[in-house]
């Protein structure tokens, strides 16, 4: 059956009377039908013919530059085809130019995957019809080699001269056969690349053979398009992972796998896609998982973070999804570049089991999970509470696009169990073996089964199958899991099958993050492989193709699913949405403004989800979130589509590196930076705006030893239709923000009502190796309306720095800065500057500030601490402090007490006792000393109360009864009060 090549409106734009150019190929292919496979199609390698067979599933196209995207090509050619590859042809840039080709017009190349199978005659006729279009400059066939690999031929072929004297012969022969010499290999000058002209009578395969058969040239070969050029992963147990690449290693059917290798040619996942594993919890420090963990997770049993490891099941599931690849360790996950979130539950029956599981689902989607993998279930669990949690995830997750919820079908060899059976929008996954059969120990199959007692559940709710027998994956370390080492080769059942499908969903979202949960499920079902010899038939209520009661839609196919997701990218690309870095930013890339990039007015915080438009300092709360708001603007003439906003937090610093300090960044065992969530951006009309709301629970200040106040927020607009502009990894984020209008950055201050006296920040190197930085203290703002700056109000700052950093500062150039004590600086001028501090790229130092100024009640003033590269003079980052009158009393009274802050408490942190050093200025002074927990004033000790005489004091106090945490020590002398933060270890 001949395919429908053209849709009517395509004919209005293109001349279909284009001269026939592939008739020669039809003749050639039809003249020798009785010849052997190896003699019909071939090319030469080292003088020997390399056999090829026609592959009618794919077509190679060359397209002029005015057809600039795959969606336009698809409309012009045939809506039923898939454009699996589309790219600009940059081949000429890879070689030494030849004058005749210098001004060649730019063009694209593409690969089509045809929907319908064709005979050779129908396929060649299809090529012929394609080449009638002015929109197609060349249409070439695909082949299969003797190893079964897909091989395409492009318009290029390569020729090696025997001597340079042969060049004139090459040039003449090229002209004779309608080819052009594109360029010379820059490393091997006897090699030249040639290209078939648009009106050539022969394709590249034929021309390469003709050139070789003259005997003039040492080599002549077509430039082939090959799949899977990359080597198999170097993970030692990869060869055991038949579910990813079935070579018959366990006696099964070669090729019965999820086609992971071919999918990885397109994508290996994305760090922007997060899969929650609701299970026993997985070992986040497992060497094959730790690079891909997201956040600290959640323990449903206690309702707190972090997640715990309560059994072995979760670690095995997590490895199937996202074990790291090419790290010379263990196994590879299905989506080895995606992130995994640990949600831990004992998976044992208990009084609150149902509530805990429902809470785990809700916590996952509310905290950034794009997909939830659930390898658990039981018919006795049936619960409206769990049903509602699943509905919440499907409805509200991913900013309204819906979190993808995947459940195992069950292992009772019976009907699909709950919750997989509860909601048609759940993807219910059964387990298949390496012959493509449902895992069923009662079937008598010689293929592998999970064990002799259990088999994969089946029936009406079943959607797809995935590998579920003898699965190699990660195991708990140290012999505490299923095996005596860190990996197991015997995981199985639908518990294993479920994370395979969750991993495929992660691959899908990595290429098209704007799909709804329904669309992801449809793709997985529509592209499933009809394996095992079962009869798949049209079934009522199953609209995504033929279905089978034992197998659902069939075995999940990662490659086909990813390709289908790519085809669903929106066709109206070319829009440009952005958020402002600074007040007068109009979205230019790069932003020509050289000022600070961390004060965006298009990102702000509210202490509640109230939609307010003015910025508030975020507040640490346990039961209700703060709201982060980001205004998105469309500067283009095209309505936006398919775009997400990802929000990240990091502990404040004058230097922050992307993505090092923003994704799963821990310091001293405490999470200092990670993604908050990703939400969908609805379509925005040209010139319009939209404000995105993202709930945020700021970290607990008690978790941090240093810098307990300041955080930075980074918002990234992500869209395949509006890509990032020159975003770099491993560099200071300030440069990315300046270069890219899709990224905005904001400093915020997290405060606790019991702590108002200290503000801190980190100083970090942002470039590899040793560099020198300057620190500036600026109170004039950047286009801010400031009536009276901080230093004009008599402002002064005491700064306490790390001892090692202090030694480096002493060797630097200090301007308008005094050293008043060990590790302590005094600043009272806007001209203050520390120049030439040596800092390595992987170093972090802390600075602690105490402010004093004449600030009236209700007023607030700003101070920016700027980090600048000494040699380049470029801003690397900075922090903004907001000083209110709550700080005035502390600073002035601390000064009157004559307390040297670095000596007040020692040691700090402490575990059993502390020493206090201070001075009392008058006789018979009433003195009170107390210490209390910053989160619980009931946790307090009164260390001293009574009168003291004038003089310096040095005293020891016992604090061993205090629990670990962060405390405030208060020293009151008469009506003068000072405080110090104390960390109890």
Q: What is the set of active-site residues?
A: 279, 313, 495
Q: What are phi and psi of 224, to 5 degrees?
A: -85, 155
The number of beta carbons lying within 10 Å of the beta carbon of residue 255 is: 14
Instruction: Tell me which residue of 779, 722, 716 sits closest to 745, measured CA to CA.
Output: 716
Cα-only R_g, the chain:
33
Long-range contacts of 27-32 (CB under 8 A, 24+ apart): 28/206, 29/54, 29/120, 29/124, 30/121
Burial class (CB in 10 A: 0-12, 13-18, 19+), 581: buried
Q: What is the DSSP letter of 966?
A: E
Distance CA 749, CA 598 (A): 13
Count of residues in the chain: 985
- Which residues pair with residue 798 across a beta bridge? 826, 850
| Burial (Cβ within 10 Å: 0-12, 13-18, ≥19) of residue 199 | exposed
User: Exposed, middle or buried by CB within 10 Å (0-12, 13-18, 19+), for 101?
Assistant: middle
Which is nearest to 490 in space by CA: 237, 186, 751? 237
Q: What is the distance of C-alpha 342 from the center of its chain?
A: 16
- Count Cβ atoms within 10 A of the Cβ of residue 1 and give its class: 0-12 exposed, 13-18 middle, 19 or more buried: exposed
CA–CA distance, 215 with 564 (Å, rounded to integer): 46
Concatenate the DSSP letters of all residues of 514-533 into one string. T--HHHHHHHHHHT-B--TT
Residue 700, helix vs strand vs coil: coil
**CA 894, CA 888: separation in Å to the nearest integer?**
10
The pair of three-digit structure tokens given for residue 538, joined into one six-digit string? 């049209």
Q: How far apart, in Å, are the Cα atoms of 48 and each of 141, 145, 583, 849, 935?
A: 22, 14, 68, 76, 79
Residue 318 host element (H or E): helix 313-322
Alpha-carbon separation of residue 85 from 71, 565, 606 (angstroms): 11, 13, 44
Q: How far is CA 556 from CA 235, 308, 376, 504, in A?
A: 23, 31, 20, 8
DSSP state of 537: E
């Amino acid at each position: 059956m001949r395919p429908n090549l053209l849709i009517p409106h395509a004919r209005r734009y293109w001349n279909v009377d284009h001269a026939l150019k592939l008739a020669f190929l039809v003749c050639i292919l039809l003249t020798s039908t009785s010849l052997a496979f190896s003699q019909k199609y071939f090319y030469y390698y080292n003088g020997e013919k390399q056999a090829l067979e026609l592959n009618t599933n794919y077509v190679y196209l060359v397209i002029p530059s005015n057809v600039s995207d795959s969606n336009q090509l698809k409309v012009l050619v045939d809506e039923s085809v898939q454009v699996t590859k589309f790219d600009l042809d940059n081949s000429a840039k890879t070689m030494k130019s030849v004058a005749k080709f210098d001004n060649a017009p730019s063009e694209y190349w593409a690969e089509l995957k045809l929907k319908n199978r064709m005979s050779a005659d129908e396929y060649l006729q299809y090529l012929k019809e394609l080449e009638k279009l002015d929109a197609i400059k060349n249409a070439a066939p695909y082949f299969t080699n003797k190893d079964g690999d897909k091989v395409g031929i492009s318009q290029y072929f390569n020729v090696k001269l025997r001597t340079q004297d042969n060049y004139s012969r090459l040039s003449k022969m090229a002209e004779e056969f309608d080819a052009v010499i594109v360029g010379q290999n820059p490393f091997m000058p006897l090699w030249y690349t040639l290209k078939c002209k648009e009106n050539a009578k022969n394709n590249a395969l034929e021309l390469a053979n003709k050139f070789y058969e003259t005997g003039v040239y040492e080599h002549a070969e077509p430039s082939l398009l090959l799949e899977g050029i990359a080597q198999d992963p170097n993970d030692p147990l990869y060869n055991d992972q038949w579910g990813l690449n079935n070579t018959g290693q366990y006696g099964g059917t070669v090729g019965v796998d999820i086609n992971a290798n071919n999918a990885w040619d397109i994508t290996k996942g994305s760090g922007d896609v997060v899969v929650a594993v609701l299970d026993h919890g997985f070992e986040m420090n497992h060497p094959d998982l730790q690079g891909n963990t997201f956040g600290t997770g959640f323990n449903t049993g206690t309702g707190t973070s972090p997640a715990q490891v309560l059994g072995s099941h979760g670690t095995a599931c997590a490895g199937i999804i996202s074990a790291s690849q090419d790290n010379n360790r263990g196994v590879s996950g299905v989506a080895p570049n995606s992130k995994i979130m640990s949600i831990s539950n004992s998976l044992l029956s208990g009084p609150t089991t149902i509530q805990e599981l429902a809470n785990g689902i809700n916590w996952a989607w509310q905290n950034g999970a794009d997909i939830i993998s659930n390898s658990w279930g039981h018919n006795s669990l049936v619960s409206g509470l769990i049903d509602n949690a699943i509905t919440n995830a499907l409805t509200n997750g991913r900013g309204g696009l819906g979190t993808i919820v995947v459940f195992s079908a069950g292992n009772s060899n019976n009907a699909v169990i709950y919750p997989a059976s509860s909601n048609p929008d759940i993807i219910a996954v059964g387990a298949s073996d390496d012959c493509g059969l449902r895992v069923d120990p009662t079937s008598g199959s010689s293929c592998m089964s999970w064990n002799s007692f259990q088999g994969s559940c089946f029936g009406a709710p079943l959607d797809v199958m995935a590998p579920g027998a003898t699965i190699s994956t990660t195991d708990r370390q140290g012999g505490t899991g299923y095996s005596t080492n860190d990996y197991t080769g015997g995981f199985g059942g639908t518990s294993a099958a479920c994370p395979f499908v969750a991993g495929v969903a992660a691959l899908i979202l990595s290429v098209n993050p704007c799909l709804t949960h329904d669309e992801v499920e449809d793709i997985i079902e529509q592209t499933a492989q009809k394996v095992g010899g079962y009869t798949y038939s049209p079934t009522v209520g199953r609209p995504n193709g033929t279905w089978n009661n034992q197998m659902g839609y069939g075995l999940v196919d990662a490659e086909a699913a990813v390709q289908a997701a790519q085809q669903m990218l929106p066709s109206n690309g070319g829009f440009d949405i952005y958020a402002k870095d600074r007040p007068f930013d109009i979205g230019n890339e790069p932003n020509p403004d050289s000022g600070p990039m961390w004060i965006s007015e298009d990102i702000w915080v509210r202490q509640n989800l109230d939609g307010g438009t003015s910025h508030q300092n975020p507040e640490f709360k346990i039961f209700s979130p703060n709201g982060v708001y980001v205004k998105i603007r469309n500067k283009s003439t095209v309505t936006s589509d398919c775009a997400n906003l990802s929000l990240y937090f990091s502990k404040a610093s004058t230097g922050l590196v992307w993505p090092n300090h923003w994704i799963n960044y821990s310091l001293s065992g405490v999470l200092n930076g990670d993604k908050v969530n990703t939400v969908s951006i609805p379509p925005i009309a040209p010139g319009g705006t939209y404000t995105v709301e993202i709930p945020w629970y700021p970290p607990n200040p008690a978790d941090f030893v240093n810098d307990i106040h300041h955080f930075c927020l980074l918002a990234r607009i992500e869209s395949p239709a509006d890509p990032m502009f020159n975003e770099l990894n491993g560099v200071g984020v300030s440069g990315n923000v300046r270069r890219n209008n899709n990224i905005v950055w904001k400093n915020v201050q997290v405060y606790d009502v019991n702590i108002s006296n200290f503000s801190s920040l980190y100083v970090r190197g942002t470039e590899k190796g040793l560099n020198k930085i300057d620190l500036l203290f600026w109170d004039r703002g950047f286009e801010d309306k400031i009536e009276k700056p901080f230093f004009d109000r008599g402002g002064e700052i005491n700064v306490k720095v790390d001892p090692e950093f202090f030694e480096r500062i002493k060797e630097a150039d200090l301007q308008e800065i005094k050293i008043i004590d060990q590790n302590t600086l005094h600043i009272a001028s806007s001209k203050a500057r520390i120049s030439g501090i040596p800092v390595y790229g992987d170093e972090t130092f802390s600075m602690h500030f105490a402010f004093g100024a004449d600030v009236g009640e209700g007023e607030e003033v700003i101070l920016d601490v700027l980090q600048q590269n000494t040699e380049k003079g470029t801003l690397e980052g900075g922090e903004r402090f907001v000083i209110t009158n709550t700080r005035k009393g502390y600073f002035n009274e601390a000064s009157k007490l004559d307390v040297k802050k670095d000596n007040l408490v020692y040691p700090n942190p402490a575990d059993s006792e502390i020493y206090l050093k201070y001075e009392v200025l008058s006789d018979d002074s009433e003195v009170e000393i107390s210490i209390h927990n910053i989160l619980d004033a009931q946790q307090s000790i009164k260390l001293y109360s009574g009168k003291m005489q004038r003089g310096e004091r040095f005293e020891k106090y016992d604090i061993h009864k205090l629990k670990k945490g962060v405390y405030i020590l208060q020293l009151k002398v008469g009506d003068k009060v000072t405080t110090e933060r104390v960390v109890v270890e």
